[in-house]
Structure 1
């Protein structure tokens, strides 16, 4: 029995930022679309509801290359240092890092590769740099993976204190502590390192389709956001003010 005006009044009454209102609008639209698809509603009045535009804050969440490296180099614990290295060097999502097992890693010449089970149930292969592969090898040796009760290939790359896979909340704590140690803002998260990977590799001349494949973006348009967030030139530089 809900009417269009009631939906609009509800969204207009919501407190918070435009992002909060946009999230609520998207949830309502999704619910009403589903209700129509299963035959619960004859008409989907949510189709006419406009999701309010939100400010793109991606540029505010891209740290400098120096800051990313500082976070890694100042981390005193080997496991955590390798974790930060893989988040940044591989551009992995936090869930992908937590799900890595040694069987997912394979030597490629002097470096290596990781088979990553990513967002949407999609699997991709990420080539790792020589430097990242070396610290992973050091972690494996230090952790004594070959001496564990379970087969070495089945062991998680990043172990918790209890011997299982590290969970996302623990990764968040590691990243937050590393950011504080480096004197960075409190908002820094694991995903910021993924943003940094995309932006810095594009800055260094990596082809956009290659960055797309490495990060596992479904569309090159998603990767292209980093070009807009960090433009290399501006017409403002041609003015005398």
Structure 2
């Protein structure tokens, strides 16, 4: 059976196409199948990128050619979009066309021949020095915000891993010398959990926050670790604003984000002699290569100890 195209209707090439393909009766159906199972943030970003391309192309995905993708690339470049942004948008389309072809909806994987623009490494520009990090961490007046900033750095957590986290995810630990420490359990990518040890200093701040929360009638196991003024957990946007505000107070000119503190954790720990495999486990990296790149971001800085926090 040949492909029949009407408006933006997509008809599978073969009558014996799998049920998944038969359910993709339109471009919108195909996009819905493609983003199914992805996180809400990823799905929203993918849909936004594809919608932007569809407005540019003004036609069905079935008729897209490689030349159309490169024309869009040129338009994005002319608009002044960064190489990273263009690469991300093209990667989304590449993934969509690969998926559509794999399930038998699209006759040709037009994205298969699409080479993504290479992104120059800017990791070293996003790593705070240790002194900059200490300024950012210790000029905050709010106990809650202080703990949030310190946890971003001390645990190397992603924003998504601290949003909505509750008190049941933290518990006390004792060091061999008897000093009070703690650990936090994070839910990372792919729903994988990992536990990260917390230093005495961070644990002390965390306990001060809990004492304050308990005094206000909160701080129970299922209560949010980082409570907003309305009683619910802080949102991603609120966490970003807290980090940005702390960076401004510290006099940092860059637009610092929470992820910069994750970068700082990796770089500073490696600089101070932490084994690369230990940093990999702490940050929840899938690949050792991802962690190793931090060791080369600032090769002139090094010392023999781990993080000072």
Q: TM-score, normalised by structure 1?
A: 0.91
Question: What does 1:18-57 correspond to in 2, within 5 Å?
Answer: 18-57=83-122
- Structure 2 portions without partners, runs of 5+: 1-62, 175-179, 302-309
CA distance in 1, matches of 2:284, 2:163: 16
Return the match for 1:68 from 112, 118, 133.
Answer: 133
Please say if 1:192 is aligned against 2:257.
no
Return the match for 1:212 from 280, 303, 308.
Answer: 280
Paired position in structure 1 for 2:182:
112
SS at structure 2 position matched to 1:106: strand
Paired position in structure 2 for 1:224:
292
In the TM superposition, residue 90 of structure 1 has moved relative to its aligned partner by 1.0
CA distance in 2, matches of 1:213, 1:207: 10
Bigger relative contact order, structure 1 or 2, given CA contacts below 8 A and separation 6+? 1
CA distance in 1, matches of 2:76, 2:137: 41
Return the match for 2:71 from 9, 22, 37.
Answer: 9
CA contact (8 A) 2:214 2:220 kept: no
CA contact (8 A) 1:90 1:128 kept: yes
Point out the more displaced range, 167-176 or 1-10.
1-10
Structure 1 consecutive aligned stretches of length 4 or more whose deviation exceeds 6 Å: none
CA distance in 2, matches of 1:20, 1:207: 33
SS at structure 2 position matched to 1:154: coil
RMSD: 1.6
SS at structure 2 position matched to 1:54: coil
Tell me the matched-pair count: 231
Q: TM-score, normalised by structure 2?
A: 0.71
- Structure 1 portions without partners, runs of 5+: 234-241
Please say if 1:121 is aligned against 2:212.
no
CA deviation digits over 1:133-172, x for unaligned, max 9?
Answer: 1110111001116833xx8110111110111111111111
Decide which structure has the larger Cα Rg and report it: 2
In the TM superposition, residue 32 of structure 1 has moved relative to its aligned partner by 0.3
